[in-house]
Amino acid sequence: MSYLWWTLYGLATACLVAYGLHAAYLLSQARRRGPSYVAALERCRARSSLGRRHFPRVLVQLPVFDEPRVVARLVEAVAALDWPRDALEVQVLDDSVDGTPALARAAVERAAAQGLAIEHVRRAERVGFKAGALARGLELSNAPFVAVFDADFVPPADFLRRALPLFESAPRVACVQGRWEHLNRRQNLLTRAQGVAVDAHFFVQQLARAAGAGLVNFNGSAGVWRRAAIEDAGGWSSGTLTEDLDLSFRAHIGGWRFVFDPTLAVPAELPPTLGAYKSQQRRWACGSIQCLRRLLLPLWQSRMSLRAKLEATMHLGGYAVCLAMVTLAVLLPLGFGHLALLRHAPAAWPLWAVVGVAALGPLRVAMHGQRAAQHRGSLRGTAAAALLGLGVSANNALAVLRGLLWPIREFVRTPKQGRGGAKGGPLPNTEIGFALFTAGAAAVLAFEAPVSLVAYALFCSSGSWMLTLYWWTWERRLERLS
């Protein structure tokens, strides 16, 4: 039993260190290579004829499922895209089972009256979830380029004119991905913290990968695909909960390249309630691990460089850090008798120093993302994002286990707010349970464990307590008012 405890302890610690060092690596790449990469994209855009003299046919797909609050806004924004009407077609891929179809049909009729080639596509059954809807839409069109926008996005009018020229920036470009902006960043503490995390993803992780450090993935929305790349990679698949990540890596394995432009910003909603955010995170965590299971072997059998394979493995397995965090938090009080050895082990101090340095990696990434997004209060925002990540770690750890051990389950959409008001969600039982456990662990460890381990237990506990307090003071009140 002692051997098992030390093995799990070592693996969890190693995972946390690897995650932190990987974050620091991506930050260094974004800083060193990012500016010249973005400048090269601008030069490509300036000399391209796409969107100026040459207008290829573009299909815009809008996958929708029970989105009555945002579907009209989405159709209106797409109808305003600055692209010749004879080279543009739009599909509202509506699998809704509520009142959304009537609203979507009315919005489609208004757009069609303005001369837009737009269809309201309905399916008898929601087979394959979002991936199935996108695949069905491709069967109804032969356009060589395909743009995708989720229901809560509001693409700017010049999106296609800015995105299409970037397909000439490198050979075999499969997809051009834009950056997500935030319509409701200042709505509450939860959305502000999410904004920091999303900015860090795009301004550091995606930029570093695009500039040469790894493999960029399509983020599921605000991007344009080359149809030939979709077909060459095997098409959309519902084999995982993250069909965007799955298709992206299959295209990379097939030799295609991706472009990410941080200046190509598309506003979208951040989940305004804890329940909606946890649902989104569960899907992303579970789906990414499903992709890891599915694509790890083909990835390592491909002709990519060793560096690209290592970074791609870290990319696909990123959510495993949540499982490592929770595992370590659970192990500490269970191995109370072993911890006294760490206090008196001189060899452990260099290891703890490495852990401390690695822990700074994600924090520096968050701060850089805020500076790049030109948001004030970087320290406060970084602290909120860190606590949010800690608070949702138990939720994500359970999702990682699902992705590892069980087959795909139903695709659960993230509820959108739109023009309506947010409603409070259910009691966050997972977060409350983890908060109580880690607080109790800190109390137990205080008698024998090194200060660093007590601090870790308190750190994990603080994130769960923050989310619990947020729910109690904000969402509980909304639930009573609704």
Instruction: Examine residue 92 and state whether it is found in any structural domain, yes or no.
Output: no
Instruction: Examine residue 16 and state whether it is found in any structural domain, yes or no.
Output: yes
Confidence (pLDDT) at 450: 67
Instruction: Examine residue 107 and state whether it is found in any structural domain, yes or no.
Output: no
Domain that holds residue 217: 1-56+144-416+424-482
Residue of 408, 331, 449, 269 whose CA lies nearest to 6: 331
Instruction: Examine residue 257 and state whether it is found in any structural domain, yes or no.
Output: yes
Spatial separation of the C-alpha atoms in residues 250 and 238, rounded to whole Å: 13
Spatial separation of the C-alpha atoms in residues 135 and 433, rounded to whole Å: 41
Q: State the total domains in the chain.
A: 1
Instruction: Examine residue 389 and state whether it is found in any structural domain, yes or no.
Output: yes
| Nearest-10 Cα torsion for 16, 18, 23, 27 | 150
Confidence (pLDDT) at 137: 97
Residues 6+ apart with CB under 8 A from 87: 55, 56, 57, 58
For residue 410, the tally of other CB atoms under 10 A from its CB is: 8
Confidence (pLDDT) at 328: 87
**DSSP 3-state of 351:** helix
Instruction: Examine residue 6 and state whether it is found in any structural domain, yes or no.
Output: yes
**DSSP 3-state of 60:** strand
Instruction: Examine residue 5 and state whether it is found in any structural domain, yes or no.
Output: yes
Tens-digit pLDDT profile for the chain (482 aa)? 577 877 888 899 889 889 999 999 999 999 999 999 999 999 999 999 888 888 999 999 999 999 999 999 999 999 999 999 999 999 999 999 999 999 999 999 999 999 999 999 999 888 999 999 999 999 999 999 999 999 999 999 999 999 999 999 888 999 999 999 999 998 888 999 999 999 999 999 999 999 987 899 999 999 999 999 999 999 999 999 999 999 999 999 999 999 999 999 999 999 999 989 999 999 999 999 999 999 999 999 999 999 999 999 999 999 999 999 999 888 877 766 666 555 555 555 556 666 666 778 888 899 989 888 887 666 778 888 999 999 999 999 999 999 988 766 666 666 666 655 556 667 788 999 999 998 888 888 777 666 777 888 888 889 999 999 888 887 777 655 45
Confidence (pLDDT) at 413: 67
Confidence (pLDDT) at 377: 60
- Find tokens 């499903």 and name the residue: 290
| CA distances (Å), origin 321, targets 278, 282, 295, 359, 468 | 16, 14, 19, 12, 22
Q: Which residues are known catalytic residues?
A: 95, 244
Instruction: Examine residue 381 and state whether it is found in any structural domain, yes or no.
Output: yes
Backbone phi and psi for residue 169, each to the nearest 5 degrees, phi listed first: -75, -20
